[in-house]
Every structure is written in structure tokens, then in C-alpha cells.
A and B are shown apart, each in its own frame.
Chain A
């Protein structure tokens, strides 16, 4: 394993010397985050939505739900409208006077005490999908706080990319997108070694193929993790981006890096040469970014874009990060199980395919 670490250290040293790589990987997403934050309504501006809570349970616990919404980072963005009747509230949601409705049914407290999922219903206005998104996030936060499962009933398909300040969306969006571009740069360098024959020369040393591939892929993963970590910290400190709790964010960041490495290692190694791999990889990252909602949130776009986002590893990662940001400090790993599973699976599959392809390095002239 020592040889793998030395290969990894050598690769990291080479990449950190590359100013272009640092520019693309760290500086560009930070600059763009700042510009987008300033340009789209100001970094610290937020959206004001009106959410009705219809409390048919009228217990201390159900009143606690409404109360919880008056606190925390959403307090300044949410205008709560207590309403007694479900029909009246539903009508207000239907005609767009209210952004969303949270219905607390009778027996809510008993159900929670019995350990059942929160029997809450959330409806959002077709005209204000962000409000529905926010309402669901608030119920999840409440569920996390009282140790219950999330709402059992959602009357509408879940629409990611919902209520967030622009900077909270585009910070993770740009971080994920530029992570993919940076990993592509690293993978191009890896393939260039295969093309140039240094991998073949390595194969002539006592170092095993497994150690060589571990060192190479490990270098890509470590660099990706370093870059993403720097972007998380920098966007938090510079622009106040809300990422969510450390543990789920770190876990999702790790699998996102894995996915980036897997997708691009597979793509570039399948092309079989550095130049071609760079061209195809760039096109792939661009298309994935488009489909994954990095340029425009799927919210407000046709429903198919929601599916597109779920079908791309970067889109899954972005959904996960925005879900974590939406749910706030109470978010748990359970909230991002799907993005975690998808990105990890894609990453491992891609890395395995790349390893199979490069297990026998080509030698120029052979």
C-alpha cells in the first residue's frame, strides 16, 4: 500500500502545481457563486411565502409544529397563516393567495406517540411551487426535531430545488459542476500517463497493478474531496451559503466525489486517449450539468426535468445538497439516502470499469 500512497502523493503534487487546475477547480466556482449571489436578488435576500397551517388536532404537539416555524432560519421568509377550515385554506392555495397548506389532522399527537410517521399533508400552489417545497422542508425539520419519521402523505410529487436563497442553490450547484470538471482534468492527466507510457513503465517496477490503480484513483478522489471541502468552507465563509449539518453534507460530498471520479474515469478510459477523453468528458459534464439542474433549478421547469435530475449523478448530488440546505440544522442522513446510494453506486461502478480497462497499461510502440 506504500507504493499506492506514493503514487497518490506524486499525483497530488503535480495537480497542485497546475495553476489552471486550481483556477478551474476553486477560483472559478467561487467567483461565479459570488456573481450569481449578487446578481440574482442579492446574496442575503430571500423569498417571502405565505403558508397556512390548519390544525385539526389542537394539541400541544400540533401547536408546537406551527410554533417551530416561527423560529430558525426560515422565520424571516415564512409568513404563517393559521386557518381553521381545510376548505377555506385549500381554496386559498388553489387560487394562489397562499403558497402552501400544511394540514394537521385530528389524532396527530396520538399517531406520533404511537411511533407512526407524521400524518401531515402538504399542498402547494401551482403558481408558487417553492412554497410547497419550503412547507415540506419545514415539516421534515419538525419531524427530525421530535424524532419522528417525515410526513406520510405528500399530495404532490416532490419537487427539488425549492425554496432556497439563490446563493444556497448556486453555491452547491457550482461546487458540484466544477468538481466534475476538475476530476475530468485529473482523469485526462491519468489517461495521458497511459498514452505516454509512464503507466507501462510503472508496470515494469515491483509495484502491483492494484497499487498503481489505487494510487491513481485515490489521488483523484483525494483531490476532489479537497477541492469540494475548500468550496464548502469558502462559500460558507464568503457568501454565507447554508449547506446543512456537517455529517450528511460530508457523506454526500464523499459520494459525490466518488461519482465524479467514477463517471469520468469510465468515460475517459473508454475513449482510450487523453485528447478524445477530454472532448467527450467535457461534453458529458456540460450535458449532465444541464440535465442535473446546475444552470436552472428544475423547479418551474417541465416535470421531465425533475426526472432528468434524478437520472444524473450530479443532479442527484445537487438534490441532496439542496434538500439538506432546505431542511436546515435538523437534517439527517436519512434525508439524502437516495442521492447517497445513487452517487456511491455510480462511482464504484465507473471506477471498477476503468480499473478493468487500465489493468494492462498500453505501451507506446508495442
Chain B
């Protein structure tokens, strides 16, 4: 549905997006993750035709983005900054944005009613948007994007600053649209959101795509399996445990902190019986044993570093 190749964008001497390329398929949620200033929003704006590209090529549903209106008509864009008119009612906002994508008359009224119902704002539709809560504004923002049933949804951090109920409603809407075959490009800072919603994830930093794949593929790329952590109460017990566990089959690496033994392994649960037997045999008494799964955060931090971003 969306194919982007070799995207480039320069602001003065700063290269904000550098040879970026990816695809978003029908019925797929593609997560674009990256730290602040990585180039996510700039990329989305180029894909929606808001910012001119300095290089690269984009097609939407097979239509060259440079053709303008025909390509942009296939996009539903929900910006992170809430592109809404607070001095219009929710319904008036939807009517206006609906007209901007070519809806008129009965089709417009039907689309507005359906969108309001889908985001749970039907009862507050005649109130000024300026009186809405943050979560309601986010839902209205999303409703404006889905009005015309676009085959591609571009959602830029759609859950920023919302309560758990609104976030849940937004997740459900995204999942319904995916099921209906919509291609969804989704950016977020919340990695647990990406883990839950995204079929594939691209991690971007300094304008370049650092890694791409399913969650499983990204974790596999990390090169690390599960970790087993074992806590002890006594001084020196963790160090003694290293000697007892290091020779066990399946343990790739053993290390000790003050009171914790850490084992790197690809199959943590299978290791547990032999591990416990070895530890007890060595006269050690574990107080906690946990198999720790690697997660996207580890992948993200590994790829983008731990330095703070502005």
C-alpha cells in the first residue's frame, strides 16, 4: 500500500532523513519507532505530501505521491499536534475535514455519524471541541483521519497524553481497521504499544532505518536469548553460584552481582530443574528465580543508544 524508497530531507546543513525506505502492506500495522529528533515526524510529513522531499520516491496504493491529490486522497492523517478547530464543535470539525477530502451531502453526514460513533463521541458531538478532554480530542483527531475510509492511515503518536480508557479505545479502533484491511503507519514512544499493535517495526535514528522486522525478528537480531536471574541473601553466595552453574548444559554465560546470579541462555525454563539441583547441591539457598524475556526496549536502546535526546 505504501512504498517509500530513498527518502531524504535536509534542513540547512542537518540531514534529518537519510535514504530511508520501507513498505506498509494492506492489513498491517507498521510501527516507526525512534527517539526524539530521529526523523519520524519529518518522515510522516513527507509521506503525506506536507513537506517536500529532497530525494526519494513514494507511492500510495500504486499512485505516485507527486501526482498530488489522487495519492493524498488515499491517506488518513492524524497528526500528533491535534489539527483541530477548538472553536468548532466536534461535528463541525468532522464536517469540515470530511469536505476537505471530498465528502458531501448524505455521504458526509453518514461518514460523520459513523466516525463519531466509532470513537465514542456521538453524545458530545454538538459541543465545542475546546471543551473536550485530552482523550476526547485525541479520539476526535483520529475520527477526522478515518472519515473517508482511507486505505492508508498515518497515525503520529495517537495516544500521547490520554487516559487508559481512551488509549484502549484507540487500540481497538486501530485493530478494527487493520482487520478491515487498512494499512496503518504508526509512530509512538510507548514501546509496549508497538509490541501490542505493530505487525512489523522499523527503528529509526538520526534519519536512518537501523532495523526492521517483526518483534521476533528484532529480538533475534539482538543476539541474546532469555536471561535467568537468581537472588541470594548471603554474602558471596552469588559468586559461588557462578561456579556451580557455569558448567550446566545450555548456559552460555554466567556472571554475578553482589547478591544476584545472571545466566544467559536460549532456553531458560528448560534449564531451571538442573540449575536448582546444582545450586542446592552446592549448599546454596536461592530466594528468587526468574526467567527474564528480552523486550523491544532492549532492542531499541541497543540500536539507538542510551544518551538523552532533546
Contacts and interface: CB of A to CB of B under 8 A. Distances in A.
Contacts of A205: 72-73, 97, 100-101
Interface string B97-115: 1011110000000000000
B41 to A, nearest CB: 5
A203 B97 CA distance: 12
A22 interface: no
Name, among A7, A13, A361, A366, the residue most crowded by chain B CB atoms within 10 Å (CB to CB).
A366
B59 interface: no
Contacts of B70: 206
A17 B87 contact: yes
Contacts of A201: 77, 79, 83, 97
B50 A203 contact: yes
Interface in A1-21: 3, 6-7, 10, 13-14, 17-18
Given A3-B100, A206-B73, A363-B41, A198 B84 contact: yes
Interface string A43-60: 000000000000000000
Interface in A157-202: 196-198, 200-202
Give the interface size bracket for B toward A. 20 to 34
B190 interface: no
A204 interface: yes
In terms of DSSP, what is the predominant structure of the interface of chain B? loop
A302 B79 CA distance: 57
Contact of B49 (A7, A17, A198, A204): A204
A365 B50 contact: no
A208 interface: yes
Contacts of B99: 3, 6
B45 A208 contact: no
Interface string B55-81: 000000000000011101101010111
A147 interface: no
Given A365-B80, A366-B42, A206 B87 contact: no
A6 B72 CA distance: 18
Contact of B72 (A204, A364, A366): A204
A194 to B, nearest CB: 11
B50 A206 contact: no
B83 A200 contact: yes
A232 to B, nearest CB: 28
A365 B52 contact: no
Nearest to B9: A366
B51 A363 contact: yes
B238 interface: no
B69 A206 contact: yes
Nearest to A193: B85
A207 interface: yes
A135 to B, nearest CB: 53
A87 B206 CA distance: 88
A7 B95 CA distance: 12
A200 B100 contact: no
A197 B72 contact: no
Nearest to A18: B87
A198 B50 contact: no
B88 interface: yes
Contacts of B83: 196-198, 200-202
A110 interface: no
Contact of A198 (B42, B48, B85): B85
A360 interface: yes
A206 B68 CA distance: 7
B52 A204 contact: no
A197 to B, nearest CB: 4
A361 B52 CA distance: 11
A250 B225 CA distance: 80
Contact of B51 (A7, A196, A366): A366
Contacts of B102: 206
B82 interface: yes
Contacts of A13: 88
Given A10-B88, A201-B77, A366-B50, 15 more contacts: A6-B99, A6-B100, A10-B85, A13-B88, A14-B88, A18-B87, A197-B79, A203-B49, A203-B50, A204-B49, A206-B72, A363-B50, A364-B81, A365-B41, A366-B41
- Leading 9 A-B pairs by shortest Cβ distance: A201-B83, A206-B69, A204-B48, A197-B81, A364-B81, A205-B100, A204-B77, A206-B73, A203-B50
